[in-house]
Amino acid sequence: MRSRGGKANPRFLGRERVPYSAAGDGHDSDPHLELAQCRSFHRFALDQVHTQETHLPDPRAFISFDFDHDELQKTFFVGQGKKNSPTPFAIGDWSSKEALPQKTWEETIAIKVGKCNMLIVLASPTAASASGVAKEISMAHAVDVPVFGVYVDGAGGATPLPAGLQRNRTLAWKWDLIAAMIGQAMGEGKNG
């Protein structure tokens, strides 16, 4: 078999030089070309994996908070949770931005909670008495969305928690702890 330049393209089988057509395997392929193609594909595949890893969507967090008392805490928490925050995760705030009629609120919030990767409860001194927070936690449990809490506004280990929020999944407002819990939540429930 001749190449474009008119010279025979040898294939090495053991120590013997054999033209491609005499290889007996029915393929006219150059092992050096195959190796180059394999390396090229390998580089392409690694680039694809790297691209996918670095362009994963940010975790979606529904922020549950006492709408009547903790809106400022929610604003601070979400503001710090943006891309330039100390946590390696960006927090997308999917919570309701306004007061809604009860029926509309329940339908809207159930849909939003279901589209999130986690529900983060801002556990303030008043959150345990906020009926909306307990309902949001219940909605999250119903669709297997992981739930954890962050103590805000002076709350701590002695503060009553909303129904459905576990004390061992409620932590101080420290971004290294929050980042670790977000990472854990991304492997739990519907995310796992």
CA 41 – CA 22 distance, rounded (Å)? 28
The enclosing domain of 76 has a CATH number of 3.40.50.11200
pLDDT in tens, 38-88: 555 545 544 554 444 445 567 888 999 998 899 999 989 988 877 656 666
Instruction: Confirm whether 152 is domain-assigned.
Output: yes
The domain of 168 spans 60-191
Cβ within 8 Å of residue 58, ≥6 positions away: 83, 89, 90, 91, 92
pLDDT band at residue 148 under the 50/70/90 scheme: very high
Nearest to 121 by CA among 77, 88, 79, 90: 77
Q: What is the mean pLDDT of residues 158-166?
A: 97
Give the chain's domain count: 2
Say whether pTM exceeds 0.85: no
Local structure of 99: helix, strand or coil:
coil
pLDDT in tens, 4-31: 555 554 444 444 444 444 444 455 555 5
Instruction: Confirm whether 150 is domain-assigned.
Output: yes
Asked if 25 and 108 sit in the same domain, the reply is no
Asked if 105 and 86 sit in the same domain, the reply is yes
Asked if 164 and 110 sit in the same domain, the reply is yes
Q: What is the mean pLDDT of residues 157-162?
A: 96
Asked if 39 and 88 sit in the same domain, the reply is no
Asked if 38 and 74 sit in the same domain, the reply is no
The residue type found at 68 is D
Instruction: Confirm whether 1 is domain-assigned.
Output: no
98: tokens are 């306004």
pLDDT in the model for residue 29: 54
The residue type found at 177 is L
